[in-house]
Amino acid sequence: MPRGDLFSPLDPYQTGRLRVSDLHTLYWEQCGNPNGMPVVFLHGGPGAGASPTHRRFFDPTFYRIVILDQRGSGRSTPLGEVRENDIPHLVADLELLRGQLGIQRWMVFGGSWGSTLALAYAQAHPERVIGLVLRGIFLMRKREIDWFLYEMRTIFPEAWANFAGYIPPSEQHDLLEAYWKRLSDPNPAVRMQAARIWSVYEGACSTLLPSPELVSASGEDTHALGLARIEAHYFRNNRLTPESKLLDDVHRIRHIPAVIVQGRYDIVCPIRTADELHRAWPEADYIVVPDAGHSAMEPGVRAALVQATERFKTLA
């Protein structure tokens, strides 16, 4: 029967660390039913890392839930590392982890940046994907990045003023490079301050109604440093070629069952992008939550995501 809320908290039955290069080691965990349908959860950011709440989108009696922190994120090491960190590496990491865990095919669940990575992975390895659940669509295009850096002030001028105001007026014409300069500063205190301001800006713009709890969590050191450094790095260095690549290659995955969930008032990843994806992929179910912003924890978004994972039990 369809659910509208998260499943009960649960602990992993297995955790591990996967060495993917001489530099990077990834944290991963498995929860739920060891013999169930495999599903991999891809966190956002890039760089945000996963949390225990993310286990709860899936029925633990049915799903074998695989969660990892991507390169430079969360519990993976080194935190905030941008070398050897790009989309092809992350896609290869997923294949390496899938093989290590002995999984032939799995469902892929990703929101925000996680939707970007989910699409890139599925298009590279469609034979490995049972189904896709995507939220808050982001396609790594210049206009989406520029929107984040400059145009979110249209709706959240106060949050943007705090974000831009950290940078001297002489550098505000290029906020990305100005932030990158500080996020790369040799002084850890400078890096941390810039990271916290960047991360809190994103958190403040992620919900329909103000969420002091989310803003507070956004300022936590590990989350903020991983998110800000990796996000700025990707915005600077990981534009797709061509920019429309994820839309152009939808033909590779149109046969895969998919659900796209989008908050109508998502300001971080505006609905225009999700609409473009759905128009390129009409076979995917498209759910617009009428009273939600960007966060996966918005009540309507959360309910739609859980209902999608419940419905996808029929794919087993």
pTM: 0.97
Report the pLDDT value the prediction gives residue 1, as an integer from 0 to 100: 38
Domain span including residue 79: 14-141+240-315
Give the active site residue among 199, 211, 294, 295: 294
Pairwise CA distance, residues 245 & 254, whole Å: 15
Does some domain include residue 185? yes
Answer yes or no: do 257 and 169 share one domain.
Answer: no
Pairwise CA distance, residues 91 & 122, whole Å: 9
CB crowding 203-221: b at 16 or more within 10 Å, else e: bbbbbbeebeebbeebeee
Answer yes or no: do 101 and 28 share one domain.
Answer: yes
Answer yes or no: do 252 and 232 share one domain.
Answer: no
Answer yes or no: do 271 and 122 share one domain.
Answer: yes
Does some domain include residue 230? yes
Report the pLDDT value the prediction gives residue 315, as an integer from 0 to 100: 87
Answer yes or no: do 157 and 278 share one domain.
Answer: no
Look up 266 and say whether it is catalytic: yes
The domain boundary, picked from 202, 237, 272, lies at 237
Q: What is the pLDDT along the chain (316 residues), one digit of tens a residue?
A: 356 689 999 999 999 999 999 999 999 999 999 999 999 999 999 999 999 999 999 999 999 999 999 999 999 999 999 999 999 999 999 999 999 999 999 999 999 999 999 999 999 999 999 999 999 999 999 999 999 999 999 999 999 999 999 999 999 999 999 999 999 999 999 999 999 999 999 999 999 999 999 999 999 999 999 999 999 999 999 889 999 999 999 999 999 999 999 999 999 999 999 999 999 999 999 999 999 999 999 999 999 999 999 999 998 7
What is the number of domains present in the chain?
Answer: 2
CA atoms within 13 A on the CB side of 182: 21
Answer yes or no: do 151 and 127 share one domain.
Answer: no
Does some domain include residue 4? no
Does some domain include residue 274? yes
Q: Token pair for residue 100?
A: 């290590």
Answer yes or no: do 123 and 147 share one domain.
Answer: no
The domain boundary, picked from 210, 237, 264, lies at 237
Report the pLDDT value the prediction gives residue 3, as an integer from 0 to 100: 60
Pairwise CA distance, residues 286 & 181, whole Å: 39
Give the active site residue among 115, 218, 266, 278: 266
CA dihedral 102, 106, 111, 114 (to 10 degrees): 50
Answer yes or no: do 248 and 217 share one domain.
Answer: no
Pairwise CA distance, residues 116 & 87, whole Å: 9
Answer yes or no: do 99 and 29 share one domain.
Answer: yes
Angle (CA) 285-270-224 rounded to 5° is 110
Does some domain include residue 5? no
Answer yes or no: do 50 and 116 share one domain.
Answer: yes
Give the active site residue among 73, 112, 211, 218: 112
Answer yes or no: do 133 and 263 share one domain.
Answer: yes
Sign of CA pseudo-dihedral 149, 154, 155, 156: positive
Does some domain include residue 2? no
Does some domain include residue 307? yes
| CATH number of the domain bearing residue 20 | 3.40.50.1820
Pairwise CA distance, residues 103 & 99, whole Å: 6
Answer yes or no: do 150 and 195 share one domain.
Answer: yes
The domain boundary, picked from 237, 268, 289, lies at 237
Does some domain include residue 277? yes
* E strands present in the chain: 14-19, 25-32, 37-42, 63-68, 106-111, 129-135, 258-263, 285-289
Report the pLDDT value the prediction gives residue 209, as an integer from 0 to 100: 95
Helix or strand (DSSP H, E) at 241: none
Sequence-ordered list of residues with C-beta below 8 angstroms from that of 147, at least 6 positions apart, any chain: 270
